Homo-oligomer: A and B are copies of this chain.
Amino acid sequence: MNIAILTFEGFNELDSFIAAGILNRMKPEGWNVQITCPSEQVTSMNGVTVTAQQPLEFANTADVVVFGSGIYTRDIAKDSSILDRLELDPHRQLLAAQCSGTLLLATLGYLNGVPACTDLTTKPWVIDAGVDVLNQPFNAQYNIATAGGCMASQYLATWIIAKLANNTAAASAIHYVAPVGEKEALVAKCMAVVSPFIS
């Protein structure tokens, strides 16, 4: 199971690393979660430079593509030198987006008729792109999921694990990362949010 966490210049650390951290709980089961970038290194919105684990093209053959978020997403949405490198297909891949990553999913045409979640800043741009924005943290339809608000990354990760492995594995991953003393409550919350979207 190859999972590309798309991480661009100016990225939001929470939006790439919460999903990556939770999904990496599946590493013992062979899941290969990779920070995937358009250049060898990218620097976050807060000045943290990370080295790409994979080039952008890794996404094209991945089983799951998670679009992270960042402060330059509107520019990236207009940058064909980046977006033209992506050849995705929701029939063979899960496509997930966090916060402003939803704008990229919209720009690439994967949200036609699919209402979406995003953060409050990105919301007007996603609406401009012709997509209905929901006032909720998570939505999924078929193989496409979106989440809004950094900490909603936990729901994206829960959905991906529940969909590609099973509910038990998803619950176990959330249990591990949940606060001590709140583990059962957070597992129940995450499963309640995503279970309506797991067929």
Contacts and interface: CB of A to CB of B under 8 A. Distances in A.
Interface centre among A18, A21, A27, A50 (most CB of B within 10 A): A21
Interface in A88-144: 117-120, 135-138
A90 to B, nearest CB: 23
Contacts of A46: 20-21, 24, 27, 33
Nearest to A154: B151
Q: How many copies does the complex hold?
A: 2
11 contacts: A13-B20, A14-B22, A17-B17, A24-B45, A48-B53, A117-B180, A118-B180, A136-B181, A147-B179, A151-B178, A151-B179
Interface residues of A, number: 46
A148 B179 contact: yes
Scoring A27, A152, A155 by chain B CB atoms within 10 A of each residue's CB, the highest score goes to A152
A51 interface: yes
Contacts of A18: 14, 17-18
Interface string A143-186: 00001111110110000000000000000000011111111001
Interface of A: 12-14, 17-18, 20-22, 24, 27, 33, 35, 41, 45-51, 53, 117-120, 135-138, 147-152, 154-155, 176-183, 186
A17 B57 CA distance: 26
Contact of A182 (B12, B45, B149): B149
Given A13-B21, A17-B14, A20-B13, A179 B49 contact: no
Pairs of residues from A and B, 6 with the lowest C-beta to C-beta distance, nearest first: A137-B179, A152-B179, A148-B180, A149-B179, A14-B21, A150-B177
